[in-house]
Structure 1
Amino acid sequence: MSTITNENLKIQSLEVKDVRFPTSLGEHGSDAMHTDPDYSCAYVTIKLSTGLEGHGLSFTLGRGTEIVVAAVESLKHLVVGLTVVDIYKDFASFWRSLTSESQIRWIGPEKGVIHLATAGIINALWDLWAKLLNKPVWKLLSELEPEQLVSTIDFRYITDVITKEEAIEMLRKGKTGQEKRLEILKSTGYPAYTTQVGWLGYSDENLESLCRKYMKLGFTAFKVKVGRDLNVDKKRLRIVRNTIGYDCKLMVDANQVWDVNQAVKWMEQLAEFQILWIEEPTSPDDILGHAKIAKELKPLNIGVATGEMCANRIMFKQFLQAGAMQFCQIDSCRIGGINEILSVYLMAHKLGVKVCPHAGGVGLCEMVQHLQMWDYLSLSGTMEGRFIEYVDQQHEHFQDRLDVRNAHYQAQQFPGYGTTFTKDTLIKYEYPCGTEWQAMFAKGIYSDPRK
């Protein structure tokens, strides 16, 4: 049963906090474009009149988080006072009420900071729905009847690729064999690749050491950051290939640093390392540029992966239509939460493109595992050629711990979306008043923004 029937469950409050972690001190997350990221998030708490809370977040890199927090505050009046029955029985309409508020829409629409704020709120509502039913989100999604799941999606602007009727038919077909796939998922988990080995700020020695570490943990697919210096890239990729061999898969990520022609030429120079994909080779908004890169690199058997900064389902639609991505990388926070992400999965499935989610950061691994497991159980029906990204950062801060064993995400059994911080984390890392930030301000490691 996936329906909430208690009509008295009213949303009493919505709060949002700025939570940051000083990851730049160890150059964790560093790449050619983002040289000093402090993994952070706008952390949303939606509280019911009964006291039950749903938690959602929208990932950021430090400075600027306060802007997302302000955007969440601007949407609060559209949420507080509603009953969850009214939201969940017509979730698509509620989603549209957030993304189409007539004045706030002007500074989007359906993109940028406002969409990041929307994702934080929507993620919290799905966490709440799953907690009300005492289920993990992946289980809630996979148990929804096709009609009910489709009712959560706003199909405006994408019906030229997929309609509600087509989506329902796909999901009906996806029910066939679901129980058998569930047994496989529970026994083996979902395959992962790791980016933890290859941050651009890491030394060569650390790069090699981490490759060996993650091979021992069972990983056979690795991603390395590239794009700052071609000769350095060749040196680093040679270290990686000499360590992991050529039986393992290797992907690279330029994080938007190149022009289109530069991307093609650069990757031609790296083709000797047998690259599975080049990720974000150019501007994340350049659909035709990605299509050109994909066409030029196809003879080299190098695919194009992108999507972590794709603004909305409409841009995903065009990337998919143009053959501009061979690997579709949804992000659990970049577009408007689960509702919109479901539409991207459906379009990718129809157009035959594999979804391999972007993860890492704060809470992204925790969230995308639910989405990819739903896809396996209810839509694509396969794990072949698909992975979930894994980065070993900030997992200890969540109440329900991520479980990755033998390079496979294990199907979580706790209720919710896995997005609830521990109380200790909020005490230490809420910015700028948390005790850890106060200590770093006092030592001069960071400057106190209030002075």
Structure 2
Amino acid sequence: MDTITITDIDVKDLRFPTSLHADGSDAMHTDPNYSCAYVTITTDKGFEGYGLTFTLGRGTEVVTRACESMFRLVKGRNALNIFANFASFWRELTSDSQMRWIGPEKGVTHLATAAIVNALWDLWARIEGKPVWKLLTDLTPEQLVSTIDFRYISDVITKEEAISLLKRKAEGKEKREKLLLKNGYSAYTTQVGWLGYSDTKVSDLCQKYLDLGFTSFKAKVGVNIEEDIKRCRLIRKVIGYENKLMVDANQIWEVEEAIDWVKRLAEFKLTWIEEPTSPDDVLGHATIARALEPYGIGVATGEMCANRVMFKQLLQAKAIKYCQIDSARIGGINEILSVYFMALKFGVPVCPHAGGIGLCEMVQHLQMWDFISLSGTSEDRVIEYIDQQHEHFENPTNVKNAHYMPPLVPGYSTKLKNQTILDFEYPNGAEWQRMFNEGIFQKPID
């Protein structure tokens, strides 16, 4: 086929009432309703692509409008030409002279970019008949690097360096792929530690996931130090000290406050403190990292990191020990690949942020590609796993013995079930209409 024309593109606002049970609750986001802007691309050859960006309820309508504003750059295009010149197309999508003003490459416009770009990668993988991790793995170094826009990061990593890094790992790729297909990729769980959960629920969930084979656990902290000490002690009582414990403050602290707070938690032998302060405060993260290094506690961040330039600075400043890319926060796979290359150059392992709606489904592909093609190792690397909302996907994650098993179905694992759309499109989906009628949620004002 010489052409596959994109004939239509659509976006829907989908929301799930996770706040009812405090699922996803943390120090900063106390009542999240896990949601997404869900993009569908259709073509004249019958291929479709599905992509999304994760949100927390209110505001999803703003992201969907941003997606709609960008559709004119996609509709009518030959998808094969996009894939052959993906870096150029990505720059075009992020450089609209008027839309760029309300970014640039951050916030709502970049969330919308991610939804569209994720749908395009899903489309490409479906055309090729491969899951995205396999599509990425099978691209030549030159082909893969051609998808990345190196603007603003060439002082740290160049196209030539990126190609060289991939070629160095070419030997052993087949062996690593077979190993991955057999054993999967190690996961850690955050499901045990949402801030709104009772002590009994936390304890029970720790035992549940311990029995499921998990050896790494994460808890939310940041509102009350005495409660955090109590919670960490409770978790350690169940999981012991042979397993890893991480904590996540979700941006709630000042810099010095973060240092003092985490020092009081040091007795629990934490692997990392995640998002200790403002996600934009590169130097603040660096200060925290230096202060906690003697305690063996690393700093992790990235889920709210706006773009590759922010990641570049975090790495340059030695502000993070663990790099947490998010599949829907920055501009989709193209930009995420650049972060993997920079992280490898700085010797910082990537441990993706996941959970939400579809984040687990997407980041597994990226981390599996990294293992096979780029870093060549899973040492000190792990993928976050949150056990909720997977039932809404046609091809959900498959986690066995605390390991993500590689998806085998073509695409980015992003296609939602039709019934889910009928039930949870906001505000007219059947489930939302039911909850409005029953007074569970207030109906939005037109």
TM-score strictly above 0.5: yes
Pairing partner for 1:348 from 330, 343, 350: 343
Distance 1:257 1:129 in 2: 39
The whole-number CA distance in structure 2 between the counterparts of 1:194 and 1:402 is 14
Map residues 4-403 of structure 1 onto 2, 5 A cutoff.
Answer: 6-403=1-398
Q: Distance in 2 between matches of 1:177 and 1:413?
A: 21
C-alpha displacement of 1:311? 0.3
| CA shift for structure 1 position 281 | 0.1
Number of the residue aligned with 1:3: none
Unaligned runs of 5+ in 2: none
**How far, CA to CA, are the matches of 1:326 and 1:182 in structure 2?**
27
Find the residue that maps to 2:441 and give its secondary structure: coil
Give the conservation status (yes or no) of the 8 Å contact 1:432–1:438.
Answer: yes
Whole-angstrom distance in 2 between the partners of 1:377 and 1:141: 10
- SS of residue paired to 1:215: helix
User: CA–CA distance in 2 between the matches of 1:353 and 1:8?
Assistant: 40
In structure 2, what is the Cα distance between the partners aligned to 1:8 and 1:30? Answer: 46
Deviation at residue 50 of structure 1 after TM alignment: 2.0
Which amino acid in 1 is paired with 2:284? Answer: G
Residue 448 of structure 1, CA deviation: 1.0
Once the two structures are TM-superposed, the CA of residue 86 in structure 1 deviates from its matched residue by 1.2
What amino acid is the match of 1:419? T
Contact in 2 for aligned 1:9/1:49 (Cα 8 Å): yes
The corresponding residue for 2:406 is 411
Measured after TM superposition, the shift of residue 51 of structure 1 is 2.5
What SS does the aligned partner of 1:196 have?
A: coil
- 1 CA distance for matches of 2:365 and 2:179? 15
- State TM-score, norm by structure 2: 1.00
Aligned to 1:442: 437
Question: Counterparts of 2:373 and 2:428 in 1: how far apart (Å)?
Answer: 44
Once the 2 structures are TM-superposed, how far is the Cα of residue 401 of structure 1 from its aligned partner?
Answer: 2.2
Q: 1:173 Cα shift?
A: 1.1
Counterparts of 1:68 and 1:38, CA distance in 2: 15
Q: Distance in 1 between matches of 2:128 and 2:193?
A: 40
Query: Alignment identity in percent?
Result: 65
Per-residue CA deviations over 1:307-365 (Å, capped at 9, x if unaligned) read: 00000000100000000000000000000000000000000001100000000000000
Structure 1 letter corresponding to 2:52: L
Conserved in 2, the CA contact under 8 Å of 1:7 and 1:84?
no
Q: Say which SS state the counterpart of residue 13 (structure 2) adopts.
A: strand
What secondary structure is seen at the aligned counterpart in 2 of 1:418?
coil
Q: Helix, strand or coil for the counterpart of 1:182? A: helix
Deviation at 1:17, TM superposition (A): 0.1
How far off its partner does 1:393 sit?
1.1
- What secondary structure sits across from 1:43 in the alignment? strand
**Cα displacement (A) at 1:450:** 3.8
Aligned equivalents of 2:186 and 2:47: distance in 1?
33
Contact 1:260 1:290 (8 Å CA) reproduced: yes
Hey, what's the Cα distance between the residues in 1 that align with 2:312 and 2:211? 39
- Give the TM-score normalised by structure 1: 0.98
Task: Provide the C-alpha distance between the structure 1 equivalents of 2:178 and 2:92, rounded to a whole number of angstroms.
Answer: 39
User: Matched residues in 1 for 2:429 and 2:90: separation?
Assistant: 33
Deviations 1:156-181 (CA, angstroms, capped at 9, x unpaired): 00000000000000011121100110
1:421 to 416, 419, 424: 416
Structure 1 SS opposite 2:11:
strand
Preserved CA contact (<8 Å) 1:38 1:61:
yes
Aligned residues: CA RMSD: 0.6
**Partners of 1:75 and 1:98 within 8 A in 2:** yes
What is the DSSP-based 3-state SS (H/G/I as helix, E as strand, rest coil) of the residue aligned with 2:29? coil
* Alpha-carbon contact 1:56-1:122 (below 8 Å) kept: yes
Structure 1 position 385, deviation (Å) = 1.0
1:167-213 Cα shifts (integer Å, max 9, x gaps): 00001112110011011101100000000000000000000000000
User: Across the two proteins, how many residue pairs are aligned to each other?
Assistant: 446
Amino acid at match of 1:361: G
Q: What SS does the corresponding residue of 2:252 show, helix, strand or coil?
A: coil
